[in-house]
Structure 1
Amino acid sequence: MGAVLKAVNRVLVGVAGLVLAGGGAAVLAGSLDLRRRWGLSLPSAWPFAGPRDVLLSRAAQVKWRGEGWWWPAVIAALAVVVLLAVWWLLAQVRRRRLRELVVDSGDGEEAVLRGRALEEAVCAEAEALEGVERALVALLGRRTAPEARVGLTLAPHASPAVALARLDGEALEHARLSAGVGRLPVEVRLRAVRHRAERVG
């Protein structure tokens, strides 16, 4: 899935770049009237030959709108584009979540550790730290080179420096040992919990 998505991303970026570059060149050549100024020989299908040219003339617009298949085709094409865009966005969110890790058992064999299990273990240990109200953990990266993204919600009295130190020295250190990795790059985001003010008296 990751390799397929990476290939799709490259193709989409390449196609979008070609379309934008071609459209920009066509508009620029037409708006600056480069065909007449420089004596350029543009293809007959070139959409903008001069500053006053448009992509679809009024006659062409009326002609296409008068066809019975026009609006259903436009709506279907837009629906397909929207569905593909939604799929692509969801794939971007899901693609980086690590489903499993490869652990070296020390005897020449490899074991597989579920990413969700390690996330839950780190999350539970982080939430048990003093001053941490809530924790969210996501494992990213590759099976043999995991990374972590941690979000901590701290109590008003908690010290961010102390919470980070204990997170690294306890919860994340245990995760490194469990996964059998020497290093585990981590991105930590902190936010303080806000209690609603109450009226007294």
Structure 2
Amino acid sequence: MTRTTVNRVLLGVVGLVLLAAGVLVLAGGLDLYRWLGADPPSWWPLTSPDQPVVSARSRTRWVDSTWWWPTVIGGLAVLVVGTAWWLAAQLRRSGSASIAVPTPGAGGLRLRVRTRALEEALETGTATLPEVERAGVRLVRAPGHPRLRGAVRLTPGGDPAALVEHFDTGPRADARTSLGWPELPADLRIRVLQAAPAESRRHRGRRRRHPRVE
């Protein structure tokens, strides 16, 4: 699941929760339950304009307990830190939106390709290599040092060394030629699926991670 998908799911869930809470607060504040003859949820405290969202009894119920304030402060700290981490992750840009492509022999023509389009092409090329079941590739644009980061899952009995060679001479070489980059280092995380029960003992331990292609 990509970061964009996760963000959309989280934002959708948070939005639905806030929307439901807002509708309940609005219904209680405008006294819609009485006007419409509807029954509010049994667990919802705000059912009329004269009621607070949080009653005085609820606000002071556990204030004398020794665990109350550490729990509140700890929970709020976790929430703030988690929110700040999520925001920093969204603002951190690991790649540019587009990449300049050389156009030899065409003076004055500037051509750019979307980074995601390049990543999709690399993923497609890697997925078609022998013994590859699934592949994901990202282009990390560190200042002055672009590099590829990939996660590849091989079929049972797959050969990680052969994959590295095919990737180096195939998708990675094509990307270097297309972009006009003499160097394009790559970090691959390779996982070999477990073989069938009869062969699991023979292929046990054939899992490799982070081979580098320089």
- TM-score range (shorter-chain normalised) is 0.5 to 0.7
What RMSD over aligned residues (CA atoms) do the two structures have, in Å? 3.0
Distance in 2 (CA, whole Å) between partners of 1:101 and 1:192 is: 33
- Give the TM-score of the pair, scaled to structure 1: 0.53
2:99 corresponds to: 101
Distance in 1 (CA, whole Å) between partners of 2:112 and 2:142 is: 13
Counterpart code for 1:83: T
Larger helix proportion, structure 1 or 2?
1
1:189/1:75 CA distance change after superposition, 3 Å: closer
- Give the TM-score of the pair, scaled to structure 2: 0.50
CA drift of 1:97 comes to 3.3
Unaligned runs of 5+ in 2: 1-62, 199-214
Q: Which structure exhibits the higher relative contact order, with contacts defined as CA atoms closer than 8 Å and separated by 6 or more residues?
A: 1
CA drift of 1:177 comes to 1.5
Conserved 8 A contact 1:149-1:188:
yes
Q: Residue deviations 1:93-132, cap 9 Å, x none?
A: x521343212222236442111111111111111111111
Unaligned runs of 5+ in 1: 1-64
DSSP 3-state at the match of 1:95: coil
Conserved 8 A contact 2:119-2:137:
yes
Distance in 1 (CA, whole Å) between partners of 2:186 and 2:138 is: 10
Distance in 2 (CA, whole Å) between partners of 1:195 and 1:156 is: 5
Conserved 8 A contact 1:101-1:143:
no
Conserved 8 A contact 1:153-1:191:
yes
Distance in 2 (CA, whole Å) between partners of 1:176 and 1:189 is: 20
1:171 corresponds to: 171
Distance in 2 (CA, whole Å) between partners of 1:144 and 1:105 is: 21
Q: How many pairs were matched up? A: 127
1:153 corresponds to: 153
